[in-house]
């Protein structure tokens, strides 16, 4: 392809300005700025300090106004409230399982808010601790179920003993923890009775002793804790079995064996002293002792334990 060149003077292209070769050297200002930028302090100030300062200043100026601050806090509070009062977080009812009517009532009374309420307002851990302070409650499982149900599964303590002490009569569970107070023994005649100071600390042993006393259970009036150390088994007709501090169950079983073999407790014996297991001692009743004395031609004893003197003369 041939190119036609127009040689007419008017049509000549404007002469190209000679290309000025750019100086590769940085200008003095650019050089100084580059060097300044490579200085660590400037670099840090410009890259971290300045943006942080600007952000802090903007926030500070904006927050300097009282109205804006109030609007900000109100906005945040409103937002939190809006989220918390959503339908999904509402608790509408409370279900309680495994509780007696009295505990049920107390539990409902303990709930700090009126239902329906937001689940954020119910502090389950605090509520649980508060409920556990009730004597009748052994454990409680509190949870908020889907559908807005506050579910409480309560395990109540089961009374197995009655404890008579200076301040009244309490029901105890197997671990010795108080369940509730009763006004009189007749309210729970089916429960065995224990008495004495510190008896609640040894309920396990007491239960074992009551188990071991099977044959004489109808005659058993109760167990008495002596000196927070050992037990006395108290039977009707004023009979008493004193047990050692250690090995009490074994000693009682030995006494039961004696009773089975010789009907020991059916005789006139007031006290069976088993405190020293190697040397059981029994104390006879008054009638038996007088019978023995008369047979030996001795003067009988009176109820006070003194010898009745024969009146001389009329």
Residues making contact with other proteins (CB under 8 A): 23-26, 28, 31-32, 34-35, 38-39
CB of 19 to other proteins, least distance (A): 13
Helix (H) or strand (E) holding 206: helix 203-212
User: Interior CA angle at 203 toward 199 and 208, to 5°?
Assistant: 125
CB closer to other proteins out of 39 and 100: 39
What is the smallest separation between the CB atom of 49 and other proteins, expressed in angstroms? 18
Q: How far is the CB of 65 from other proteins (least distance, A)?
A: 44
Closer of 48 and 79 to other proteins (Cβ): 48
Nearest approach, Cβ of residue 4 and other proteins (Å):
20
**91 class by beta-carbon count within 10 Å (0-12 exposed, 13-18 middle, 19+ buried):** buried
In the complex, the smallest distance separating the C-beta of residue 31 from other proteins, rounded to whole angstroms, is 5
- Angstrom distances, CA of residue 156 to CA of 28, 177, 201, 300: 89, 12, 20, 58
Question: Cis before residue 72, ω within 30 degrees of 0?
Answer: no
Q: Is the CB of 34 or the CB of 228 nearer to other proteins? A: 34
Nearer to other proteins, 31 or 62 (CB): 31
The answer to whether the beta carbons of residues 141 and 128 sit under 8 Å apart is: no
- Of the two residues 39 and 262, which places its CB atom closer to other proteins in the complex? 39
Q: Which is nearer to other proteins, 39 or 139 (CB)?
A: 39
In the complex, least distance from residue 18 CB atom to other proteins, rounded to whole angstroms:
13
* Shortest distance (Å) from residue 13 CB to other proteins: 17
Nearer to other proteins, 26 or 112 (CB): 26
**Measured CA distances, 234 to 197, 221, 222 (Å):** 16, 6, 5
Helices (H) and strands (E) in the chain, counts: 9, 14
What is the spatial distance between Cα 130 and Cα 133, in angstroms, rounded to a whole number?
Answer: 5
163 closest CA partner among 131, 207, 215: 207
Phi, psi of 241, rounded to the nearest 5 degrees: -115, 115
Cβ of residue 22: shortest distance to other proteins, in angstroms?
12
**C-beta neighbour count of 177 within 10 angstroms:** 15
Q: Measured from the CB atom, is 46 or 55 closer to other proteins?
A: 46
Residues 6+ apart with CB under 8 A from 264: 255, 258, 272, 282
């Amino acid at each position: 392809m041939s190119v036609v060149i127009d040689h007419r003077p008017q049509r000549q292209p404007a002469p190209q300005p000679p290309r000025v070769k750019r100086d590769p050297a940085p200008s003095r200002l650019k050089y100084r700025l580059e060097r300044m930028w490579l200085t660590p302090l400037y670099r840090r100030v410009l890259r971290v300090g300045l943006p942080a300062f600007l952000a802090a200043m903007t926030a500070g100026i904006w927050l300097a106004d009282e109205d804006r601050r109030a609007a900000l806090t109100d906005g945040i509070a409103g937002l939190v409230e809006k989220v918390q009062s959503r339908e999904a977080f509402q608790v509408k009812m409370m279900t309680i399982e495994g509780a007696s009517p009295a505990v049920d009532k107390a539990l409902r009374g303990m709930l700090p808010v009126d239902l329906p309420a937001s689940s954020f307002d119910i502090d389950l851990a605090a509520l649980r601790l508060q409920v556990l302070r009730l004597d009748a409650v052994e454990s409680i499982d509190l949870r908020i179920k889907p559908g807005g149900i506050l579910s409480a599964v309560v395990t109540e303590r089961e009374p197995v003993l009655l404890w008579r002490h200076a301040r009244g009569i309490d029901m105890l569970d197997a671990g010795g923890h108080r369940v509730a107070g009763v006004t009189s023994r007749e309210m729970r005649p089916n429960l065995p009775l224990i008495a004495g100071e510190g008896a609640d600390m040894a309920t396990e042993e007491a239960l074992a002793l009551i188990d071991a006393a099977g044959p004489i259970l109808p005659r058993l009036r109760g167990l008495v804790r002596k000196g927070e150390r050992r037990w006395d088994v108290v039977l009707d007709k004023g009979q008493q079995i004193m047990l050692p501090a250690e090995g009490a169950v074994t000693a009682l079983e030995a006494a039961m064996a004696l009773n089975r073999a010789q009907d020991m407790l059916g005789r006139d014996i007031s006290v069976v002293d088993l405190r020293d297991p190697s040397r059981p001692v029994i104390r006879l009743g008054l009638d038996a002792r007088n019978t023995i004395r008369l047979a030996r031609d001795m003067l009988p004893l009176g109820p006070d334990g003194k010898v009745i003197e024969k009146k001389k003369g009329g």
